[in-house]
Structure formats: structure tokens, C-alpha cells
């Protein structure tokens, strides 16, 4: 434990980054009780004492074209942060994910002698590989959450530490489904589908209707189907509630703020937007269908730019198609319901058990005590003399 009063600048752009950053802050505070943290923080980071200069929702934008509609505001936010950190220099700046926002900020701060860390590597292994050279210029250190990423950085002699993922540390290798159901007041024999249409407004606007229509088709085969929708904040709950009130679907639906993990563990299967939530569902050992829809122009651009075989994280990590991943025109109620039906009704077959075994193997590879490792790497960088 050090009495040094270090100042840490930190920016997270969405719920998954908020989780990573909160764990990092908690561990850094154990080493540096007098350290202060400020930047852009979600509720978990703020609970650890991080001061937020802007609402994290400001950065929750997905898609190449979609960013353009918010570009002036995003540029204003980044310029304001830059001026703030140049006037009040932190001992280290940590960008948590959100690379299109954070790397530009890191580049300018590093040029002014401020140490910078990018926590979560941009997907250079999937698209825009040449970004790795900008990352090298912008950062003193990259903290990687997936094991295969470090190899890419080592090849280019760019400082990178593989720290694993904090969710892999927090979730049991064998989650307790019965306990999760009790906490959510669900009966043991209920057929439960977890539905996660995304953490951003646009994602919910795009996917909620097709997800609910899929549930309605499932109900014709599963009369007692229970649908649980965990949302990240009050704004998303209001958005989902408004849809339900407007459309009044003939379904048993429960909407809860937070508790996504408990909902997934309690479920028999998961329907969700592609993203970090697919990783969490895998760690919860739940079969799933993941889907995503982009704007037409963004989709055409990504078809040309994206090089990886898969986009769902369990498939990327395994380098094989473990779960169904649907994109664009394939995201239909009929296709989704047909994929989900056997997951909800045939849960104990050999194929299902083989999938769970693969999920456990991936879980163990990501279980690296990420909060401690990432904090140690940042502390080491802070303590290094210029």
C-alpha cells in the first residue's frame, strides 16, 4: 500500500467497460488509497469513487454511419476532456474500450508526456489491422482481455499484457441455476427465456420488436414461456416498458434493471444482441442465439472491412461456430424461434453437454484474476520513472 496521491484519468464508453473499469479502480485503490479517479464513468465506476465529467450515455454509439450523426457532440466531449486533462494532468490515463473515442485522446495526451493505457484491445484481428500502429503511438501499454490478442502485439513489439476478463473471475465455473431462480422468484420448472436486446437506445429500437415477435412464435409451442428482459439503466427500462405498453404482446414479460447475470443463469436459453453479453452468457453456461442489425450503409462497409470468420465472442474465442449468430436479413422471428425452440425444450442431450464443456474450457482460459492483474500492470507503469 502506498500513500502517494496519484491522479488517474479514465474513460469508459458503455456498460461492459464500466464493469472492467470498476474492478480496476477497486484494486488500484487498495494499492493507492489516496488516488483519485475522474473522466467518464458509469454507475459501477462512480460507486468506486470515480468522478464523471460527462454521462457515459454520450459515448454509447454503435456503427460507422451512426457515429457520424453524433460526431460534433463527440468531438466536443473529447476536446473538453483533453483540455481538462492537460490543465489537470493525471499520472496515467486509461481508456477502457471505446477505441475510436479513446485512442485519439490517448495520442494527444501521450504527446504531452502523460502515460496512457488502452484497456481492451481494438479488434485489430478482425478489421482495420493497421490501427495497431496508431495504438503503438497512442499508448504506453495495452491490457488485453483475450489470450490470442497478445500474440498480435508481441509480433509488432508493442507493450501488451494479457489480463483475462473480470467476468470470468466473478462467475462460477458451474453457476447455480436454482439459486438464481429463487432470487428472481421463478419456479423451478418454469421455461425461462432471457432476452437482451442491447444496452444502447438504437440497439433496442432495432432488435426489441423482432425479439418479442420471436417470443410470440415460441409461445405457440411453449404455452408457459416466461420472458425476462434485464436492462442496464432506467432509460432502457422506460424504452422497453413503452414498447410493451404500446404493443401489449400476449406474453409473460418481466423487465428488471440490472441483474443480467442472474437472469441468464436462471434462464433455459438466451436471446441477445451481439456484444459482450454473449461472453457473459457463455460464462453463465447458457446456450444462446445472438443477432445484430446494422444500418444498410454500415453493413455494406463492414462486409468489406470485417475479416474474421465469426462475430459472436464465444465463436471467436473457440474459432468454431458454437452458437448461432444471425446478421442483418437473417434476423427474423421465424429463424430465431426455430433456433431457440430446441434449446428451451431439449436441455440435457449429449450435444448440449458437449457445448457446456467447451464453454467451461473457454471460461478457464479467461479466468486470470483480471482486476488484480490489470491494476498491477497500471501500477507498474505509474511507478516507472520517465
DSSP assignment string, 38-105: EEEE-HHHHHTTPEEEEEGGGG---SHHHHHHTHHHHHHHHHHHHHHHHHS--SEEEEES-HHHHHHH
3-state helix, strand, coil in the chain (%, to 5): 50, 15, 30
| pLDDT, tens digit, 9 for 90 and up, residues 323-339 | 999 998 899 999 999 99
What pLDDT is attached to residue 371?
A: 97
DSSP assignment string, 289-350: EEEE---HHHHHHHHHH--SS--SHHHHHHTS--S-EEEGGG--HHHHHHHHHHHHH--SSH
Where the chain has pLDDT below 70, the residues are 1-2, 61-69, 125-128, 295-308, 347-348, 385-386
What pLDDT is attached to residue 377?
A: 97
The answer to whether 164 touches 145, Cβ cutoff 8 Å, is yes
What pLDDT is attached to residue 62?
A: 54
What pLDDT is attached to residue 18?
A: 95
DSSP assignment string, 188-239: TT--EEEEE--SSHHHHHHHHHHHHHHHHHHHTT-TT-EEEEEESSHHHHHH
Domain 170-366 belongs to what topology? Answer: Rossmann fold (3.40.50)
Give the C-alpha separation, 28 to 185, whole Å.
Answer: 37
Q: Over the chain, what is the mean pLDDT?
A: 91
Q: Which cell is 200 given?
A: 444502447
Domain 7-164+368-383 belongs to what topology? Answer: Rossmann fold (3.40.50)
Q: Parse the chain into domains and list their residue ranges.
A: 7-164+368-383, 170-366
Fold match, 7-164+368-383 / 170-366: yes
- pTM greater than 0.75: yes
| pLDDT, tens digit, 9 for 90 and up, residues 138-179 | 999 999 999 989 988 998 899 999 999 999 999 999 999 999
Q: What is the DSSP letter of 1?
A: -
Amino acid at each position: 500500500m502506498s500513500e502517494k496521491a496519484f491522479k488517474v484519468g479514465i474513460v469508459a464508453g458503455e456498460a461492459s467497460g464500466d464493469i472492467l473499469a470498476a474492478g480496476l479502480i477497486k484494486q488500484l485503490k487498495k494499492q493507492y488509497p489516496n488516488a483519485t479517479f475522474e473522466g467518464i464513468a458509469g454507475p459501477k465506476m462512480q460507486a468506486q469513487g470515480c468522478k464523471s465529467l460527462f454521462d457515459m450515455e454520450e459515448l454509447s454509439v454503435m456503427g460507422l454511419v451512426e457515429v457520424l450523426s453524433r460526431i460534433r457532440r463527440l468531438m466536443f466531449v473529447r476536446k473538453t476532456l483533453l483540455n481538462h486533462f492537460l490543465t489537470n494532468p493525471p499520472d496515467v490515463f486509461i481508456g477502457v474500450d471505446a477505441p475510436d473515442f479513446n485512442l485519439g485522446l490517448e495520442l494527444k495526451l501521450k504527446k504531452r508526456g502523460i502515460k496512457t493505457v488502452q484497456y481492451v484491445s481494438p479488434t485489430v484481428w478482425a478489421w482495420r489491422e493497421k490501427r495497431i500502429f496508431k495504438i503503438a503511438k497512442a499508448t504506453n501499454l495495452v491490457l488485453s482481455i483475450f489470450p490470442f490478442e497478445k500474440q498480435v502485439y508481441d509480433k509488432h513489439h508493442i507493450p501488451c499484457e494479457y489480463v483475462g476478463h473480470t467476468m470470468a473471475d466473478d462467475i462460477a465455473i458451474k453457476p447455480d441455476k436454482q439459486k438464481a431462480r429463487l432470487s428472481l422468484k421463478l419456479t423451478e420448472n418454469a421455461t425461462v427465456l432471457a432476452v437482451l436486446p442491447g444496452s444502447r437506445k438504437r440497439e433496442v429500437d432495432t432488435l426489441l420488436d423482432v425479439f418479442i415477435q420471436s417470443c410470440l412464435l415460441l409461445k405457440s409451442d411453449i404455452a408457459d414461456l416466461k420472458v425476462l428482459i434485464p436492462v442496464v439503466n432506467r432509460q432502457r427500462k422506460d424504452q422497453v416498458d413503452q414498447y410493451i405498453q404500446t404493443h401489449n404482446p400476449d406474453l409473460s414479460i418481466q423487465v428488471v434493471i440490472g441483474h443480467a447475470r442472474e437472469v441468464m443463469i436462471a434462464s433455459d436459453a438466451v436471446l441477445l444482441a451481439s456484444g459482450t453479453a454473449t461472453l457473459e452468457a457463455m460464462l453463465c453456461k447458457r446456450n444462446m442465439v445472438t443477432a445484430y442489425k446494422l444500418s444498410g450503409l454500415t453493413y455494406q462497409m463492414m462486409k468489406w472491412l470485417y475479416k474474421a470468420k465469426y462475430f459472436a465472442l464465444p465463436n471467436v474465442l473457440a474459432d468454431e461456430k458454437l452458437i448461432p449468430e444471425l446478421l442483418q436479413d437473417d434476423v427474423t422471428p421465424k429463424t430465431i424461434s426455430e433456433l431457440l425452440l430446441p434449446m428451451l425444450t431439449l436441455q440435457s442431450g449429449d450435444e448440449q453437454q458437449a457445448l457446456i464443456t467447451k464453454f467451461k474450457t473457454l471460461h478457464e482460459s479467461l479466468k486470470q484474476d483480471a482486476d488484480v492483474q490489470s491494476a498491477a500492470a497500471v501500477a507498474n507503469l505509474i511507478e516507472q520513472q520517465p
